[in-house]
Structure formats: structure tokens, C-alpha cells
Amino acid sequence: MKLILIALLGLTLTQAVFVKRSNDPSKAVFTQLEAMEEHELGRKLLDTIALQYNNKAPLGDIAKMLQQLRENLILNQQEADQKHAQDEVDCETEIYQYNRRIDFASNEITESTQEIQTLSAKVEQLTQDVENKQVQLDILNEQETQIREQRAEDAESFIRFENETENVIEAVEVIIQKLSSIQPDQEVLAALTQLNKIGASNPILALMQVASTFSAEQLNNVLGKLGEVSNQLAEALEDARQTEIQAQLDFEALVVEIASQRESLSAAREDSERQLQDNQQALDLQKKRKEDATDELNAASSGKEQKEAECDSWRTQYAEDSEHRQLEISIIRQVEEILATKLSNVKVYLQERSSA
């Protein structure tokens, strides 16, 4: 029997060409057998049966061979049915899992997108707040720089004014002292000679020259005026000193106020920067979350498509294989029926087939 099966499965056949066609009663059987020749299994079965006849094999062996072939095909179909049922379960399970992944990824994308919108607005707001506070700090720093420069200029001007005023007061005192020493019409030449030693451009020398021509009353009047000038200069200098002291105090108070404002603004800016950093980190996490969810959605969608295509391919192959097996089982049944009822016609057909 094993030899028969090997001969059936491994034999390479050459399609027979039939030229005989009789009008005897066996024509219907011949037509049926010829139709089997159109199918590969039919040709192999007829070749095998012909070989068995030539080898004088018992009809029972041929019948058993056909029965075994048919039962094997039925068993193969049952196994294919079981595998197909399991494949359908696997397909349903895997596609369900893909759908769950798709739903989860879609929800993640929706939620992360909303979070990104909220956090982006918050980051933009905090960024603007930090920039505004920095601008205010820059303004304060510029203000402090300006008032320090102005204070330095004012202090320098005061020192210059103080020095000049003191010099003028001192000069006036010298003039008063010199003029007080003048005695009209007495020793004027000696005083002028002494002052001349200072230099030709000395204004005091010029004043002394003019004052020497004054009368006693005029000289006393000039000395009185000079004394008033000296007193006014001294008062102006004292007022300037008080003003300078107050200006320094106001400057120091303003510097303290600016420092307080700077400290408050710096603390507020640092707090905004911390919030900005926290929100930026949260935004980055949400962007990563959305990116991962998008990758997962694409992977799950692609996997689902591939699985559905694979399942469709399995179903198509299963249907084709099942149809092919059913056809082969039908052919075997036809051969079994013909052998059982029209054996003589089969022998004739095989004889003509082998001689054709």
C-alpha cells in the first residue's frame, strides 16, 4: 500500500492524448473518466490504477488505496478547519489588542494636545512676565546709573563751587585787608610797589591802583561793599553745603529705594522663572507624550492593517484549499463509484488510454 501511495504522490505524468471515441454504451463512463483527466489528481489516480492493473494488483488494494486517499483528504480538511478556527480566534484577539492600543494612543494624543495648548499659553505668559520684569530691572539699573552719574557730577560741581567760592572769599578778604591798609595820599607808592611784585596781570594790583585815587569816604564805602560781598559769599557757600548734604541724603535714600525695588523685582522674576521652568518641563513631557502616542498609534494602526491583511490571506488560502480538497474528494468518490459499478468499462478505458 505504501508503494501505491508513493507512486500516486510522486509520479510525473504525461498528459494522455485520446483519439478513440466509440458510440458504445460505455461512452458515458468514458466521458466521465475523460473529465477526470482535466484534473491533476484524476490523471494521477488513473495512472496509478492503470499501473496496478498492469501489475495484476487485486481490486481490493485499489479500493483501499482510494479509501485511504479520501480519508486522508477528509482528515486534512478537518485539521485545516481546526487551524482555521484557531487562526480566526488569534486574528480576533490580536485585532482587539490593536484596537485597544489605537484607542489608548488616540486618547493620549487628545489629552496631551489639550495639555500642550494650556501649557504653551502659560509658558508664553510667563516668558513675557519674565521679560517685562527684566525690562523693569534694566530701567531701575539705568536709573541708578544715571542718578549716580548725576550725583557724581553734582558733587564735583559743588566741590568746584566750594573751592572757587572759598578762593573768592579769601581773595575778597585779601582785597579788604589790602585796601584797609591804604591811607589816601600816604605811602601809596610803597603799597603799589609791593603789590606789583605779584605780577602785571594781578587784578588786585589794578584795584589798588584805582583805590589809591579814592577819598577816605569812597574807600570806606568800597570796603563796606566788599564786606557785604564776603558775607553773602559765605552765606551762599553755607547754603550750598547744606544743599549738598541734603542732596547726598536724598541720593542715598533713592539708592536704597531702588535697591528695595530691585530686590522685590528680582524675587518676582526668579519666581516667574521657576514657574516658567516647571511649566516648560511639563510642556516638554506632554510633547514627548504626544510624540510617543503618535508613534504608538502609527505602529498599532500599521500592525492592525498587516494583521487584517494576513488574516484575509489566510481566509482566502483556507477557502481555496478547502475547495480544492472537496474537489479531490469528489473525484476520488467518482472513481470509487465507477470502479464499484462499472469496472469492465474502466478496464476498457484504461486499455484504450494506454494504447492511445
**What pLDDT does 17 receive?**
34
* CA atoms within a 13 Å half-sphere pointing along the CA-CB vector of 327: 13
Q: How confident is the model at residue 132 (pLDDT cuts 50, 70, 90)?
A: very high
Q: How confident is the model at residue 20 (pLDDT cuts 50, 70, 90)?
A: very low
Residues pairing with 186 in the sheet: 183
**What pLDDT does 347 receive?**
55
Q: What is the pTM of this model?
A: 0.59
Coil vs helix vs strand at 112: helix
Domain chopping of the chain, boundaries: 32-105+304-355, 128-289
Question: What single-letter DSSP state applies at residue 25?
Answer: T
pLDDT, tens digit (0-9, with 9 covering 90-100), for 103-128: 999 999 999 999 999 999 999 999 99
Is 62 in contact with 3 (CB distance < 8 Å)? no
Residue 4: count of CB within 10 angstroms of its CB: 21
**What pLDDT does 31 receive?**
64
Instruction: Give me the torsion for CA of 177, 179, 181, 182, rounded to 10°.
Output: 180
Residue 143: count of CB within 10 angstroms of its CB: 13
More confident residue, 134 or 172: 134
Question: Of the CATH numbers 3.20.20, 1.10.287, 1.10.150, 1.25.40, which one belongs to the domain with range 128-289?
Answer: 1.10.287
More confident residue, 152 or 50: 152
pLDDT, tens digit (0-9, with 9 covering 90-100), for 175-231: 777 767 665 554 444 444 444 454 445 655 555 555 555 566 766 776 777 788 888
pLDDT, tens digit (0-9, with 9 covering 90-100), for 39-88: 777 677 777 776 666 666 676 777 788 788 889 999 999 999 999 999 99
Question: Which residue type is seen at 61?
Answer: D
Count of all residues that appear for the chain in the document: 356
* CA atoms within a 13 Å half-sphere pointing along the CA-CB vector of 260: 6
**What pLDDT does 226 receive?**
75
Would you list the DSSP string of 147-194? HHHHHHHHHHHHHHHHHHHHHHHHHHHHHHHHHHT-BTTBSHHHHHHH
Nearest to 47 by CA among 2, 74, 9: 9
Residue 45: count of CB within 10 angstroms of its CB: 24
Grid cell, residue 118, equals: 494650556
Instruction: Give me the torsion for CA of 345, 347, 348, 354, rounded to 10°.
Output: 140
